[in-house]
Amino acid sequence: MTAGIDQKQETAGRITISVDAMGGDAGPAVVVAGLAKSARKNPKIGFILHGPKEQLEPLVAKKRGLDGRVQIRDARDVVTMEDKPSQVMRNGKGTSMWSALDSVKTGEAAGAVSCGNTGALMALSMLRLRKLPGVNRPAIAVLWPSRNPQGFNVMLDVGADVRADAEDLLQYALMGMSYVRNSMDIARPRVGLLNVGTEEHKGHAELKEAYGLIADQADKANFDFAGFVEGGDIPGDIADVIVTDGFTGNVAIKTGEGTASLIRTALREAFEYSPLSRLAALLAYTSLKRLSKRLDPRRANGGVFLGLNGTVVKSHGGADATGVSAAVKLAFRLAEQGFAEKLAARVASARVLTQDTETGSKEPESSQKD
């Protein structure tokens, strides 16, 4: 295991997060600003920052809050958004992304954060950190604002792999349940399987098979299965975990981000329309600020790669300092809770449960034949 907080990761009682400085659309200045924001809020956090030293040193020096909190690792090359994952796996050794992941692999950092190319980050994460035993396909899990008491649901997969068979969806359910249990302190999470309807006869064969597999594991793994859920339930209060394939999940999250942005823009235009509407906006300022904060996708920035030997958080490529800070906060919280080890234990126990179930189902058949 590479994850977990060991002596290498603790400097003056701090938890160290490894950060790829070069992946974002806006460049390293925004990433460093996000780190400064995190450092102001959290005295327990430290950073290893990866990228060209001559670019990073002046940026870090400007942020007094980062004094003594940042180690800079010189990495000359950068993974661009146009680079193919296969190319990065062959030629990416000198990149800031590769270097950031290696700090997790060696135990210097408790988790990694990158705003870079999603496909390349997933490919390098599997190459450098390896998948957990028994995991066929790692998944990307994101926080989705919801009506639940915790304020968010978790949805996975949102783009790690466009394909997912029934066994993959079962693994997503178990990993998502573990994520919610540890990050939101929900003892018995509710898991829903995204479909075109809630009726059991709807959906393609893989979904129907996954329905049965997840339902069979619910009591053994200590979660409640909410059955099939629809798109309107993603921000609802029916389930804490929404399970789907990467293609559907990615379309859903991009649609949600676009809708939230449209609503915020429409509200701003409506309240700026006339002097009276501006007065109304002034009177409703506190409520509007709360609504804006709730609809702000930056607060939920950060997709966690589940199913790896280590914690990796993918920040949105267009994230500003607030978004980067949110992703760093998520990585810190998971590291502080020892989430990677707990997830590994959950996946291992799920393999045993599945094997026991398969063995038990085969025994009656053999006795009948006898």
pLDDT at 370: 36
Question: What are the residues whose beta carbons fall under 8 Å from the beta carbon of 66, sequence distance 6 or more?
Answer: 32, 35, 36, 39, 47, 60
pLDDT under 70 in the chain at which residues? 1-12, 295-297, 349-370
Instruction: Give residue-wise pLDDT tens across range 163-222.
Output: 888 999 999 999 999 889 888 888 899 999 999 988 888 888 899 999 999 999 999 889
Residue 167 CA, distance from chain mean position = 21
pLDDT at 3: 42
Phi, psi of 218 (to 5 degrees): -60, -55
pLDDT at 210: 94
pLDDT at 201: 82
pLDDT at 364: 45
pLDDT at 137: 84
pLDDT at 5: 46
Phi, psi of 306 (to 5 degrees): -100, 140
Q: Which tokens is 64 given?
A: 């007094």
Instruction: Tell me how far apart the alpha carbons of residues 70 and 251 are, in angstroms, rounded to a whole number.
Output: 36
Instruction: Tell me how far apart the alpha carbons of residues 192 and 310 are, in angstroms, rounded to a whole number.
Output: 26
User: Domain ranges in the chain?
Assistant: 1-130+308-337
Q: What is the pTM of this model?
A: 0.83
pLDDT at 358: 53
CATH of 1-130+308-337, one of 3.40.50.970, 3.40.50.280, 3.40.718.10, 3.30.43.10: 3.40.718.10
pLDDT at 13: 77
Which residues on neighbouring strands pair with residue 120, listed in sequence order? Answer: none
